[in-house]
Amino acid sequence: MHRRKFLTTSLCTGAVPWLASAKAAEVPAGPVSAAAARPPAVFGATVDSMAILQALDGPASGYLEIGETPELGIRVACDDSGLMQFDRHVLKFTLPLLKPGQRYHYRLVLRPIDFRDAYTIIPGAIVTSPTFSFKAPDPAAAETRFVVWNDTHENTELIRTLHGRTQSMQPDFLLWNGDQVNDNHNPAQMAEQYLCPGGMPIAAATPLVYVRGNHDVRGAAARDLHRFTGTPGKRFYYAYRSGPLAALVMDTGEDKPDDHPVLAGMTAFAAMRAEQTRWLEKITTEPWFAAAPHKVLFCHIPLWWSGQDGDQPYGTVAGACRDEWLPLLLKAGVKIVISGHTHRHAWLPKDATRPISQLVGGGPQPAEATLIAGHVTEDSLKLTVTDLTGGILRVVAI
């Protein structure tokens, strides 16, 4: 007989202390893999599409408790056709319809499972997380504040600095504008990469709005990306309202055309662009979007960039997105495009050849990295671009 202990110390670095105690469970020979002592992540930009994801270190099941007070009261198990969730990398809890602007408290209740065969299922000790809280999105708020990261490329120290500064700002949402990783080859690594890099609780208290970048579509495991993110309908393009801001999130896909030899015929982003064009035509005419005072497009690859004539290989893809989407963006009244990808900050105000302004964030090297902070009211949209020390690089007011 072997005594195996569930993790009793946090894997977070200077972050939320998780799993205060757990008794060992007597089981037959063979270890019971433990769920991770890692912070959860809240995903979603609308109250009807929120999810909370929990990274795991081994096979586990569990449920989530949530409520408007620390007493919680609502259990979310997300069973599927009579079967409770069971996974070795991540658990995803789709939330019930929330009240806009309401603060919610939640915690995870997890149990490691040694699933040996149909009749030998050995549960480990139940472990309950601390109680976290977040504020639900509010499309009717008088103002909204947000933060944009981009091109972090698994640079833990960069993310640590961005996270520390974001915490002090307490934004309504954090938008991660693509290239969180270098590529996706191993699902065992993806939960930490997308949910809690370096063990940090980057989205435990601030809803995360996810934008897919070209590096995020690379690797065989990129097809599992929806498991480690939370977007409406598992799509990587969607729209939402946050106070006076109407936001479009669009997927620019790979930075190479589908017929590029290195892609081996394994992509179909031209078809996805066309699908988004059809969607864009419809979503921008919906009253909640059309009535917003300020409209912004978030996408990873910029539609314009500094020195674009000489910058390859993504010029062809950016041009295709621009050609297909620009007429509809102009008709909808989109004021600015916020992107990343080029690894250098740029501000390209609208002019005779560029009818929508383009803002590009830098990174991932510390000297080039940026944080973009947005503040939107009925009368103004203000974007402040800073370096990692907090030094102001640019203020854009529209």
Residue 226: name the closest of 48, 60, 39, 53 by CA: 53
**The domain made up of 143-397 is a member of CATH 3.40.50.2020:** no
In this model, does residue 202 exceed pLDDT 90?
Answer: yes
* Residue reference for tokens 């309908």: 233
Omega within 30 of 0 (cis) for the link into 287:
no
> CA–CA separation, 83 vs 61, rounded Å?
10
Give pLDDT tens digits for 265-305: 999 999 999 999 999 999 999 999 999 999 999 999 999 98
Q: Where would I find the H helices in the chain?
A: 156-169, 187-195, 269-283, 287-290, 315-332
Fill in the DSSP letter of residue 171.
-
Give pLDDT tens digits for 303-351: 998 765 444 445 788 999 999 999 999 999 999 999 999 999 999 999 9
Give pLDDT tens digits for 43-95: 999 999 999 999 998 999 999 999 999 999 999 998 889 999 999 999 999 99
Tell which phi-psi region holds residue 154, choosing left (phi > 0), alpha (psi between -120 and 50) or beta: left
Any idea which of 124-128, 248-252, 271-275 has the lowest mean pLDDT?
124-128
What whole-number percentage of the chain has pLDDT above 90? 84
**The domain made up of 2-134 is a member of CATH 2.60.40:** yes
Q: What is the pTM of this model?
A: 0.90
Instruction: List the domain boundaries for the chain.
Output: 2-134, 143-397
Fill in the DSSP letter of residue 78.
-
* Residue reference for tokens 């009717």: 140
pLDDT at 11: 27
Name residue 315's amino acid: G
Name residue 34's amino acid: A
Whether the Cβ atoms of residue 1 and residue 93 lie closer than 8 Å to each other: no
> 200-203: long-range contacts at Cβ-Cβ below 8 A with a sequence spacing of 24 or more?
200/12, 200/13, 200/15, 200/39, 200/159, 200/160, 200/163, 201/12, 201/15, 201/16, 201/39, 201/40, 201/41, 201/132, 202/41, 202/159, 202/163, 202/166, 202/174, 203/41, 203/42, 203/43, 203/174
| CA dihedral for 287, 302, 255, 161, sign (positive or negative) | negative
> CA–CA separation, 21 vs 3, rounded Å?
15
pLDDT at 33: 42
Q: Do domains 2-134 and 143-397 have the same CATH topology?
A: no
